[in-house]
Amino acid sequence: MKTVIIGGVAGGATAAERLRRLDEKAEIVMLERGGFISYANCGLPYYIGGEITDKEELTLQTPESFKARFNIDVRINNEALSVNSKDKTLTVKNLQTGKTYTEKFDKLILSPGASPARPPIDGMNSKRVFTLRNIPDTYAIKNFIDAEKPKSAVVVGGGFIGLEMAENLHNAGLQVSIVEFANQVLAPIDFDMACAVHQHIRSKGVELLLGNGVKTIVENTDKSLIVNLINGSISADMVIMAVGVKPDIAFLKDSGIALNERGYIITNEKMQTNIADIYAVGDAVEVADFITHQKTMVPLAGPANKQGRIAADVICSISSAYTGTQGSSILKVFDLTVASTGVNEKTANRLGLKYEKSFTVSSSHAGYYPGALPMTIKTVFDPDNDKIIGMQIVGFEGVDKRCDVVAAAIRFGASARDLTQLELCYAPPYSSAKDPVNMAGYVIENIIASKVKIFHWHDVESLDKDKVTLLDVRTKEEFSLGAMPNFKNIPLDEIRERMSEIDRTKPVYLTCQVGLRGYVAARILSQNGFDACNLSDGYAVWKSVMDGSSEIRKTTKYGK
C-alpha cells in the first residue's frame, strides 16, 4: 500500500511516523512545498527575539533523518498542484527543477496547513512588510533586523503570533506598536480577562491601539513606512502582519473534496474526507468543538498531532476517532502567562448557552513562602448541573498546570464538586493546601448551593443607589486608594459591630478587592437577615475593565 502525505510539520509528520511504526512494509511519500518538513513553528518568534540562539534548534527532523529512521521518501520543494480523486493521482511540481510529474497513491493524507492572511491593503508588498509562518519567514525577519537595524515596528493583529512577535521585537530593542481591530487582544479569552493583559503590555512601553485597523502602508523617502490607520497613523521601520490565517487549499480545486464555506476541509471523526481513501488533518481542517459540538476551526499543534495519528490508525485498520477540540492554549506575554480551555463567555452568549461565571484570585503557591504571585481565574459553568465548560487564567507562575488540570477535568465531564475533590500536589514552594483549582470549585459550589448571591462588574453601572445599599468591605487604606462610585466603606472586621448602619430594607451589594472578603461579609449579613449579594470579580477586575474601556473609548464606540 502506498500512502502519500501532502505537508509536514505537526499533522503530516506525525501521520508519517505513526504509519511507519504500524506498517514497516508500507510505501510512504511525503511532499513538502517548502524546504523544511518538521520544525518548531511555535518557537519561531523566540529565535527572532534572541531567546533561541541556535537556528538549528528550530529544525526537528530533516529529510535525511526521516529516511534513516522511518524509511520515508521525503521530497522537499515539491508542490502538489492538483488532486485527481477518481484516478488517485496527484500532479506535483518540483520547484527546484521546474518539472511537473504525476504521483499515484492508494491512500492520501492532506496536511497543507494554513497560511497567514494577507488583506488587500495598499503597500502590503513592501519589502518592509512581513508575515510569519515558517523558517524562511523567520530568517527573512531576523536578517532584516540584523542588516537594516530598524528602530521601530508595527505589529498588526493581537492574536498569539502578534503578541509573541511584539514581545520578541521589543526584546530585540525595537519600539513596538500593536494595532488590533477588535476591542481586545487574544480572542480565546474574554474582555474582562484581557484588560489585565492590555495593562501589562502597556507597562512594558509597547503602544497598544485597540479598535483600530490599517488602511494603507506607504513607503517613506527615508526607507521607513507610514502606516495609515482608521484613526491616525504611525511611522515605523517595519510591519508584521498577523491578522489570522486561511487554509492552504488552492490545489484542491476541482478535486471533489468537500470544503466548508470558509474553505476548510470537511472530515468525519476518523479524519476521512467525503472521498474514499483521502484523509485530512491539521490547520486546514474543520473540527467539532468538544463542548458545544459546533463546527469550528482551531489551528493548534496539539490537535494536529492527534489528528495525524488518528488518520494513520484508520488507514491501518485500527479503531480510532477524534472526539473534538477544546482549544486549550497558553501564551507568554512578557512576564504574564495567559491560558484558556473550553468555552469562553462570549462564545456561550453567541450560542445562547445557559451559563454562569465566577472569578477567583489565588496565589501561585503558599503565601507564607517567598515569591507567591497572584493569578486571576475565570470559570464558566452550567448552573443546571455545575459542569465546568471553560476556564481562563491570567497570572505569572503556575498558570499552566492549573489550566492543564481543568482541561483534563473538562475532557472527563467534571463538575465543580469534582474540582473541590481533586487531590493535587502540595508543598509550600508549589501550591497551597487548597489549590487554586480547588478554590474555583469551592466558589462555584457555594453559588450553586445558594450560599451566596453574586453579581458582576458589568452589573455595577445599573445599580440604583437609592434602591440598594452599596458596601465596600476593604480596609480604610485600600478604600482611600480608589473605590467604585457610591460605595460606602465598612471594613469586614468591623461589620458585625456596625451592622446598625446598614439599611435592612434594601438589598446589600458588597465588594472587596478580589471577592473573598465580600463573600465572608455576605455570609455574615445573610445570616443576620440581610439580602446580601457579592461582587464575584471584586474591585480589582472592575477597575481593570474600567481602565481598559476608557482606553478603547478613545478610538471606538465601545461602551457608548
* 42 belongs to the catalytic site: yes
53 pLDDT more than 90: no
- Nearest 5°: phi and psi at 138? -65, -45
Share of the chain above pLDDT 70, in %: 98
Alpha-carbon span 94 to 375, nearest angstrom: 52
Nearest by Cα to 5 from 16, 18, 19: 16
The pLDDT, as a whole number, for residue 557 is 33
- Nearest 5°: phi and psi at 241? -90, 120
Q: How many CB atoms lie within 10 A of CB 305?
A: 19
Alpha-carbon span 316 to 308, nearest angstrom: 13
The radius of gyration computed from the CA coordinates of the chain, to the nearest angstrom, equals 27
**Alpha-helical segments (H) within 186-295:** 191-203
Going by pLDDT thresholds of 50, 70 and 90, the confidence category of residue 156 is very high
284 pLDDT more than 80: yes
Span 196-208, mean pLDDT?
A: 96
Q: Report the predicted TM-score, pTM, of the whole model to 2 decimal places.
A: 0.93
Q: Please tell me the least confidently modeled range out of 66-70, 147-151, 207-211.
A: 66-70
**Cell numbers of 418, please?**
469534582
Tens-digit pLDDT profile for residues 511-560: 999 999 999 999 999 999 999 999 998 999 999 999 876 665 444 333 32
The pLDDT, as a whole number, for residue 550 is 60
Say if strands 175-180 and 152-156 run parallel, antiparallel, or are unpaired: parallel
Going by pLDDT thresholds of 50, 70 and 90, the confidence category of residue 96 is very high
Span 417-435, mean pLDDT?
A: 96
The pLDDT, as a whole number, for residue 554 is 44
* Average pLDDT over all residues of the chain: 93
DSSP line for 283-337: TTB-EEBTTT--EE----HHHHHHHHHHHHHHHTT-------B---EEEEETTEE
189 pLDDT more than 70: yes
Q: Which amino acid is at 199?
A: Q
The pLDDT, as a whole number, for residue 236 is 96
The two most distant CA atoms of the chain are separated, in Å, by 90
The pLDDT, as a whole number, for residue 267 is 97
The whole-angstrom distance between residue 92's C-alpha and the CA centroid of its chain comes to: 35
The pLDDT, as a whole number, for residue 47 is 87
The pLDDT, as a whole number, for residue 471 is 98
**Which three-class secondary structure state does DSSP give residue 45?**
helix
**Residues in a beta bridge with 109:** 5, 279
Span 90-97, mean pLDDT?
A: 96
Tens-digit pLDDT profile for residues 224-254: 999 999 999 999 999 999 999 999 999 999 9
Question: What CA dihedral angle connects 264, 265, 266 and 267, to 10 degrees?
Answer: -140
**Cell numbers of 231, please?**
484613526
CA angle 101, 102, 103 (to 5 degrees): 120
Going by pLDDT thresholds of 50, 70 and 90, the confidence category of residue 187 is very high
The pLDDT, as a whole number, for residue 551 is 60
CB 304 within 8 A of CB 363: no
Alpha-carbon span 301 to 40, nearest angstrom: 10
**CA distances for 384 relative to 392, 415, 450, angstroms:** 21, 11, 13
Axis-axis angle for helices 9-22, 63-70 (nearest 10) = 20
Q: Which own/partner pairs from 482-488 qualify as long-range (CB within 8 Å, at least 24 positions apart)?
A: 482/539, 482/543, 483/539, 484/460, 484/511, 484/539, 484/542, 487/511
Span 403-430, mean pLDDT?
A: 96
CA angle 386, 387, 393 (to 5 degrees): 105
Going 488 to 494 to 495 to 498, the CA torsion angle's sign is negative
Span 190-203, mean pLDDT?
A: 96
Going by pLDDT thresholds of 50, 70 and 90, the confidence category of residue 67 is confident
Nearest by Cα to 301 from 328, 267, 319, 336: 328
Task: From the candidates 42, 316, 403, 533, give the one annotated as an active-site residue.
Answer: 42
Alpha-carbon span 422 to 60, nearest angstrom: 37
**Cell numbers of 361, please?**
484570585
**CA distances for 440 relative to 250, 286, 326, 393, 416, angstroms:** 46, 32, 19, 11, 8
Alpha-carbon span 151 to 142, nearest angstrom: 14
DSSP line for 165-202: HHHHHHHTT-EEEEEESSSSS-TTS-HHHHHHHHHHHH
